[in-house]
Structure 1
Amino acid sequence: MDRLIYTAMTGAKHILEQQATTAHNLANATTTGFKAQVDSFRAVPVLGDGLPTRAFVVDATVGTDYKSGAIQQTGRELDVAVTGEGWIAVQRADGSEGYTRNGALKINENGQLQTSTGLNVMGDGGPISIPPDSAIAIGKDGTISTVSNLTTPSPSTIIARIKLTNPPPNTMKRADDGVFVTSTGQAAPADANVTVAGGALESSNVNVVETMVNMISLARGFEMQMKMLENAQNNAGKADQLFSLNG
């Protein structure tokens, strides 16, 4: 049996996986702070009798495009966008620390500052709690100041500072819950050089047009792999006919 069958089969399999990644990126084209997922492939020669004229396609790595998205002004006091490199530290469901660029924050019924997905935002001393009946202002360095709405005039009080961090990209990986974590599982240290813009959000870095073109290209590539399988089947049928004539 021609090894072409296995070559085309692995090619088609990994194209389907890449289509899933591309579809995932496209679905998150409007998700705040989303970072596109990138697939990388390599060819591995098929070793056996004769010359290594066939190769398998292997999914080598699944990476992330860390480039920043566009900053969009919202005017909402609880919206923050990380400017340049850096992350907002959050508390994951299992208690470990994760990192996100989604700065669409909210205050839950218990007064805790959270992301739009319900993860607690971490401060220098742990999760951040906001006093009731307070107006909030978030500074460039992540400092959170509040002013009581109950008295006029009321002094501004600094209650916490959002933990901002900037671990090297090669030490980061995407977790199943959508946030990023360090590859070692350890919490990254705070970085005073990371800054945020208040009243703004970072858009997804997915290029919709480029992603759509890639989806069409992948569909054509899958069709080519299917034609290779058909050719292998036709070649096998012709070979059987020749053997029948010789017999």
Structure 2
Amino acid sequence: MDRLIYTAMTGAKHIMERQATTSHNLANATTTGFRAQIDSFRAVPVQGAELPTRAFVVDSTVGADFRAGSIQQTGRDLDVAVQGQGWIAVQLEDGSEAYTRNGSLKLSENGVLQTQNGLNVLGDGGPISVPPDVALAIAKDGTVSAVSTATQPAIGTVLGRIKLVNPEQSELVRGDDGLFRLKSGEPADAAENVTLIGSALESSNVNVVDEMVNMISLARQFELHMNLLKNAENNAGKASQLLALS
């Protein structure tokens, strides 16, 4: 009977954790470029000579749903969406490299091209600096050009090229900040085949209906595990009564 308790107890615990993942996905249903998180259950045997048939239920994170979200036109020059597979490389505060699909960019007060979260967008030689009083144009291949607004006719100057990467999905891991990194910790190589769509953003790939259905299903599973624990308690009580009579 204690085998039932092991399974029901750990199952209920990890269903609650999976509910947290579902809630996290729903909370990011409108986050630009967000990739839904995917979890799964697996059984892990309890180690010990006296517990050979006992097993825990473990909720293991499989990874992310890498399906692309829908493309929405914004008309803003500093908005870009990655077309198909690929990522935009950004520089973290510690100097390391991470990857995002959120192409909503801005200029810092020092004229550095950044994400809306204040992370520098990486170019061929590092962060891309933009001179004042210019209009920016981002080409399909990630080339950032400055068009002077002080001269006529306007003269375009190439400032750099956004680093676009396309590593294997199995090599990517999501960080607590929502950004992806290579499992090895090394920077990914630039990919020539990754292209951008200008004046557009990619929406989250979270399916709200599926996540709501999943949340209801998990609630029912949690109730089932609680009923199993109650049955185990009732069985233990009846067994104690029979032993007392004998």
Length-normalised TM-score, structure 2: 0.95
Offset at residue 185 of structure 1 (A): 0.6
Q: Structure 1: where are the runs of 5+ without partners? A: none
Aligned to 2:127: 127
Give the Cα–Cα distance (whole angstroms) in 2 for the partners of residues 45 and 181 of structure 1: 31
Give the Cα–Cα distance (whole angstroms) in 1 for the partners of residues 157 and 121 of structure 2: 19
- Output the amino acid matched with 2:152: T
Aligned to 2:24: 24
Alignment of 1:231-242 (within 5 A): 231-242=231-242
Give the Cα–Cα distance (whole angstroms) in 2 for the partners of residues 51 and 152 of structure 1: 82
Give the Cα–Cα distance (whole angstroms) in 2 for the partners of residues 77 and 69 of structure 1: 20
Partner-residue secondary structure (3-state), 1:3:
helix
Aligned to 2:88: 88
Give the Cα–Cα distance (whole angstroms) in 1 for the partners of residues 143 and 191 of structure 2: 13
Aligned to 1:143: 143
Offset at residue 143 of structure 1 (A): 0.6
Offset at residue 241 of structure 1 (A): 1.0
Number of residue pairs matched by the alignment = 245
Aligned to 2:64: 64
Partner-residue secondary structure (3-state), 1:206:
coil
Kept in 1, the 8 Å contact 2:8–2:225? The answer is yes
- Output the amino acid matched with 1:137: A
Offset at residue 157 of structure 1 (A): 1.2
Aligned to 1:79: 79
Give the Cα–Cα distance (whole angstroms) in 1 for the partners of residues 143 and 10 of structure 2: 52
Matched, 1:178 2:178: yes
Give the Cα–Cα distance (whole angstroms) in 2 for the partners of residues 60 and 177 of structure 1: 19
Partner-residue secondary structure (3-state), 1:233:
helix
Offset at residue 102 of structure 1 (A): 0.2
Aligned to 1:165: 165
Q: Structure 2: where are the runs of 5+ without partners? A: none
**Cα 1:50–1:125 shift into 2, 3 Å:** closer
Length-normalised TM-score, structure 1: 0.95
Kept in 1, the 8 Å contact 2:18–2:59? The answer is no
Q: Which runs of 4+ in 1 moved over 6 A?
A: 47-51
**Cα 1:236–1:161 shift into 2, 3 Å:** same
RMSD (Å) for aligned C-alpha atoms: 1.6
The percentage of counterpart residues that share the same residue type is: 68
Partner-residue secondary structure (3-state), 2:2:
coil
Give the Cα–Cα distance (whole angstroms) in 2 for the partners of residues 18 and 185 of structure 1: 27
Give the Cα–Cα distance (whole angstroms) in 2 for the partners of residues 103 and 128 of structure 1: 15
Give the Cα–Cα distance (whole angstroms) in 2 for the partners of residues 121 and 46 of structure 1: 47
Give the Cα–Cα distance (whole angstroms) in 2 for the partners of residues 89 and 2 of structure 1: 51
Give the Cα–Cα distance (whole angstroms) in 1 for the partners of residues 107 and 140 of structure 2: 20
Give the Cα–Cα distance (whole angstroms) in 2 for the partners of residues 91 and 25 of structure 1: 25
Give the Cα–Cα distance (whole angstroms) in 1 for the partners of residues 46 and 174 of structure 2: 32
**Cα 1:121–1:56 shift into 2, 3 Å:** same
Offset at residue 45 of structure 1 (A): 4.9
